[in-house]
Amino acid sequence: SHENDQPAPRVTVIGTGYLGATHAVCMAIMGFDVLGVDVDQRKIDMLSAGKVPFFEPGLPEKLEEALASGRLRFSTDFDEAASFGDVHFVCVGTPQAPDSSAADLRYVDAAFTALATRIDRKALLVGKSTVPIGTAARITTMVQSISPLGAELELAWNPEFLREGFAVQDTLFPDRLVFGVSSDWAEQQLRRVFEPILDLDTPLIVADLATSELVKVAANSFLATKISFINAMAEICEATGADVNHLAKALSLDDRIGGRFLKPGLGFGGGCLPKDIRAFKHRAEELGVGQAVSFLGEVDSINNRRRVRTVDLIRELAGGSLAGVRVAALGAAFKPNSDDVRDAPALDVARLLYLEGAIVSVYDPEANANAHRAYPDLNYVGSMAEAVDKADVVALLTEWSEFRNADPDTLGALVSHRRILDGRHALNANDYTSKGWQYRALGRPAQA
């Protein structure tokens, strides 16, 4: 339904990790010819062979469908990318810098440089990575100075809001689209590549480059703040004997507040929220407006204190010391339905227990391999039964349904002591206490 008679734009996606692989596959599903490019030969080989290099429900089927359509290819060749694409999406990582709380922009700069020095016809470069405000303006200048086309090569920003675990659905049916553009031409190009989504009446916000960068970090800051708010209330509960579960429920029924992201527990982690709020605070300080978001430092601290408090509760359950105590650590991923262990609270707790001399058995349904790569010192086992075998304390750290649905008696028959720490308020306390378990959860009085 392209109203002008031009052929549909050809799309390249630079960086094929969680975001880029999903984006490339979904663009092909929507009917565009797509080339996915990464510097990691292993990833490109796997994707070309129809294998998704990470765990994402639904993506393997969509990858297969996209490859079968003949519209999707993968390559490590930037010359090919430059000549193929009309619209180039940059989806490379922006991790926390090794030596500060700022974002590390080396991959973003490298990707735009690789494209800008090679492209020799009018094209649109679109950043999708999460970046500090002002990055798009800086890259615009950089691109114009190194491109053989000069100012003809245009830049836009299109922040991404997908959630790992729901990446395909969030990409094909997003809550909203945000286009950061500096010309009508750029807006029209983006409207064409997102036409199938806009046809679904998906809300669109067209803004300047800085606003589009800010939307993403502001959204993540709000979500992180909501989680840390209820976890701060959990700290108050712990000091007073109040119950944060009842508190959260009561608050959530006020529809001005709402229940989503108001779940008390071990807190947030992953490759986005922690590094994004730190980078945002860092950038605001550089801009001389650090005070406006200094609360993000508190949000981060509250979040990190939950991990320490979780270790405290496990130590209490164990009778005061962790030395030689066998702990079953259930979960390593930062959330269920993901194999992502970047800044994962679960893995951090397992590591802290280990450092205090506990004998920790970690089991995650999908993340054991990534966790092992991040913390090779911990002991990883292949099943929940192995993890809880002769455990002195069971710690539920990531709320996979396998753990939520476990039977307290079946588990109880395997452990040395019926003691459980529910780090995610994922269990019904009565189900456990009625079977002779000691049950502890963050922000709640001790049960049984």
Binding site for ligand NAD (CB under 6 A): 14-20, 37-40, 43, 91-94, 107, 110-111, 129-130, 160, 162, 164, 271-272
DSSP class of 103: B
**Nearer of residues 88 and 309 to ligand NAD, judged by Cβ:** 88
Q: What is the closest distance, in whole angstroms, from the C-beta atom of residue 270 to ligand NAD in the complex?
A: 7
Helix ranges (H only) for 287-344 are 295-317
Asked if 316 contacts 240 with a C-beta cutoff of 8 angstroms, the reply is: no
Q: Which of 105, 59, 56 is nearest to 283 (CA)?
A: 105
Distances 35 to 38, 86, 125, 140, 156 between C-alpha atoms, Å: 10, 11, 14, 23, 19
Judged by CB, which is closer to ligand NAD: 17, or 290?
17
Name which of 128 and 440 has its Cβ closer to ligand NAD. Answer: 128
> Tokens 């490339």 map to which residue?
24
Six-digit token string for 114: 């690789």
CA distance 277 to 258: 22
Beta bridge partners of 129: none
Tell me whether residue 21 or residue 30 sits nearer to ligand NAD (CB atom): 21
Identity of residue 369: A
Name the token pair of 403. Answer: 């753990």
SS3 of residue 199 by DSSP: coil
Q: Looking at beta carbons only, is 32 or 55 nearer to ligand NAD?
A: 55
Closer Cβ to ligand NAD, 90 or 350, answer by number: 90
212, 179 Cβ separation under 8 angstroms = yes
CB of 253 to ligand NAD, least distance (A): 30
CB 343 within 8 A of CB 300: no
428: helix, coil or strand?
coil
Tokens matching residue 174 = 């997003």
Which residue is closest to ligand NAD by CB? 17
Mark whether 272 is an active-site residue. Answer: yes
Exposed, middle or buried by CB within 10 Å (0-12, 13-18, 19+), for 295? middle
Rg of the chain over Cα atoms, rounded to whole angstroms, equals: 24
Strands (E), 305-425: 326-330, 359-363, 379-380, 393-396, 419-422
Which is nearer to ligand NAD, 264 or 271 (by Cβ)?
A: 271
- Specify whether the CB–CB gap between 209 and 181 falls below 8 A: yes
Closest to ligand NAD by CB, 160 vs 364, is: 160
- In the bound complex, what is the minimum distance in angstroms from residue 68's beta carbon to ligand NAD? 23
Q: How far is the CB of 46 from ligand NAD (least distance, A)?
A: 11
In whole angstroms, how close is the CB of 243 to ligand NAD at the nearest point? Answer: 32
Other CB atoms within 10 A of residue 430 CB: 12
Q: Using CA atoms, how far apart are residues 346 and 341, in angstroms rounded to an integer?
A: 9
Question: Shortest Cβ distance from residue 76 to ligand NAD (Å)?
Answer: 8
Q: Shortest Cβ distance from residue 318 to ligand NAD (Å)?
A: 35
CA–centroid distance for 271 within its chain: 5
Of the CA atoms within 13 Å of residue 291, those in its CB half-sphere come to 1
Q: Please, what is the minimum distance in Å from the beta carbon of residue 88 to ligand NAD?
A: 11
User: Catalytic site residues?
Assistant: 272
